[in-house]
Amino acid sequence: MIGVFDSGIGGLRLLDKLRQRWPQEDFVYLADQAHVPYGSLDRDTLLDLLQLNLNWLEKQGADRIVVACNTASATGIARRYRGQAQIVEIISKTCEQIPASTEKILVLATPFTAQSHRYQQVLARQLPQAEVKEVGLSCLAFMIEHLCPKQEIETYLKGELNAYRNGFDLAVLACTHFPFARDQFAKVLGIPLIDSESIALEAPAQPGQGTLRIATTGSVELLTRQLRGLMNWNVPCEHIQIEV
């Protein structure tokens, strides 16, 4: 079984791609919506929450867990997790998609991810010739999580990114919420966009039954509405309690 974890709904698009790739695999998705947005939390609180959330996924049977949250990945949880499941962090996998010839990269992330400089560190090893600019967008994950209108999101991005509209080869959408606003990013920036939805993962060792469980630490009613509105999924959700 593969577990997919995110602070909210951002990882749903990655989950969808993984299910299309391996339709016979069993998946369990956990959204820690009681504590979203992760980008505003301190590192120690984040690590405590991540240990609890990933441990819950492992107890459900997940032997591999994709941390589909850049902010969570930026904490180094893949090295720090104390359980037995294999942890796949998303930052290195996302960077692997950037062409080797790229010279100027704009990384758009939550404030926590931007301030961690994790993308800069990974890209310094992978593409030492590249110039990397990391920008934190403090409101966007919250806006997407609460289903704000597309025009409102576009207006926000224009205000935040006007200074970065020229001089970059591509932009990395370094938060799994951000691809829900891909069209708005494309209009504002007009450059190629890279995200985590097509990351390379090893195939499961053996197929499962094609089951899917979706859980949230927040409101089941809200997540059900988000699943219908953003993914056109009519899937039952369950509530779990995670507290530090």
| Confidence class for position 64, pLDDT limits 50, 70, 90 | very high
Q: Please check whether residues 164 and 99 belong to one and the same domain.
A: yes
Of 69, 95, 139, 237, catalytic: 69
Q: Specify the pLDDT at position 235.
A: 92
Amino acid at 13: R
Of 95, 139, 148, 175, catalytic: 175
Q: Specify the pLDDT at position 192.
A: 95
Q: Please check whether residues 106 and 190 belong to one and the same domain.
A: yes
Q: Is residue 14 part of a domain?
A: yes
Q: Please check whether residues 74 and 134 belong to one and the same domain.
A: no
Q: Specify the pLDDT at position 198.
A: 75
pLDDT tens string 81-102: 999 999 999 999 999 999 999 9
Q: Please check whether residues 85 and 33 belong to one and the same domain.
A: yes
Q: Please check whether residues 184 and 98 belong to one and the same domain.
A: yes
d(CA 180, CA 9): 10
Domain assignment of residue 106, given as a range: 93-194
Residue 95's nearest CA partner among 72, 118, 113 is 118
Q: Specify the pLDDT at position 188.
A: 96
Query: Would you state the structure tokens that stand for residue 51, as one six-digit string?
Result: 């240990």
Q: Please check whether residues 61 and 102 belong to one and the same domain.
A: no
d(CA 174, CA 158): 18
- Strands across the sheet containing 170-173: 131-136, 104-109, 170-173, 193-194
Residue 59 CB coordination number (10 Å): 10
Query: Would you state the structure tokens that stand for residue 187, as one six-digit string?
Result: 């209009």
Q: State the total domains in the chain.
A: 2
Q: DSSP E strands: which ranges in 110-194?
A: 131-136, 170-173, 193-194
Which CATH number is 186's domain given?
3.40.50.1860
Q: What are phi and psi of 135, to 5 degrees?
A: -125, 130
Q: Please check whether residues 204 and 189 belong to one and the same domain.
A: no
d(CA 216, CA 238): 6
Q: Specify the pLDDT at position 36.
A: 85
pLDDT tens string 149-173: 999 999 999 999 998 988 999 999 9
Q: Specify the pLDDT at position 111.
A: 92
Helix extents (H) in 129-180 = 140-145, 150-161
Q: Please check whether residues 97 and 178 belong to one and the same domain.
A: yes
Chain position carrying tokens 């959204």: 31
Q: Please check whether residues 63 and 179 belong to one and the same domain.
A: no
Q: Is 95 among the residues known to form the active site?
A: no
pLDDT averaged over the chain? Answer: 93
Q: Is residue 244 part of a domain?
A: no
Q: Please check whether residues 51 and 29 belong to one and the same domain.
A: yes
Q: Which sign does the torsion angle of CA 132, 136, 141, 147 carry?
A: negative
Residue 177's nearest CA partner among 5, 11, 36, 3 is 11
d(CA 168, CA 14): 26
Q: Specify the pLDDT at position 165.
A: 85
Burial of 75 (0-12, 13-18, 19+ CB in 10 A): buried
Q: Please check whether residues 85 and 147 belong to one and the same domain.
A: no
Q: Please check whether residues 50 and 120 belong to one and the same domain.
A: no
Q: Is the pTM of this model over 0.85?
A: yes
Q: Is 175 among the residues known to form the active site?
A: yes
Residue 106 has pLDDT above 90, yes or no: yes
